[in-house]
Structure 1
Amino acid sequence: MVIEWLTFAVDPQNRETFIRLDNDIWTAALSQYPGFISKEVWISPDLHDQVVFMVRWQTREQWKSIPQAELDAVERRFDEAVEFDYRMIDAREYQVRRYPSPR
């Protein structure tokens, strides 16, 4: 499994709208692709101006096989829907490793 980790800066008064629009547009689009497992939204009680998205993919190959033109189209739809400023402040990729627990 691969994790796509994205952190965004958004004004606290727009945070819930940002999360809702992301779900309606980005999550709805990504969930149609093979390899998409799930997406979580993380918000901190201390960092009111940040939103973290953690997307789980079965494989990196499935995630990266989404055509760039399709991602660009989703990004345009999202940007047209969002009527306030936001910016990505971090993007990371993690591999999930699991080992059997010793008994």
Structure 2
Amino acid sequence: MANFNKSRFGSRPGPPTKKKSYKGGGGKKKNVARRAPKAPLTPKPVNYEETGMEAAYLKELVDTETPVVVVLSSGERLRGVVRYYDRDVFSLGPADGGPKLFLRKSGIRYLYEE
């Protein structure tokens, strides 16, 4: 009588059984979520109104009455002393004794001390 429980490849017919791998990395692998590579750190844009440095510098110019040169967006240069400042404008007392000038900060290219 034929033996139906045995096949020519092993004792049980059916799908192959898993064989142990002997190539290292043994043990169960933990579920470790793969992370996307971190983007390089870029500095956040600085809002100069929030730092307070502009206000501190202008206050120092007012207190010390330091002569400054203001270069406007048009290229014109004005000399004088900073008398007053706020968020949008500041007042320049010209060195030649003329009336105070109120200058919008948006119209100024830069200023420097003399």
Q: TM-score, normalised by structure 2?
A: 0.26
Q: Which has the larger radius of gyration?
A: 2
Q: TM-score, normalised by structure 1?
A: 0.28
From the two aligned structures, give the one with the greater helix fraction: 1
Which structure would you say has the larger RCO, counting Cα contacts within 8 Å and 6 or more residues apart? 1
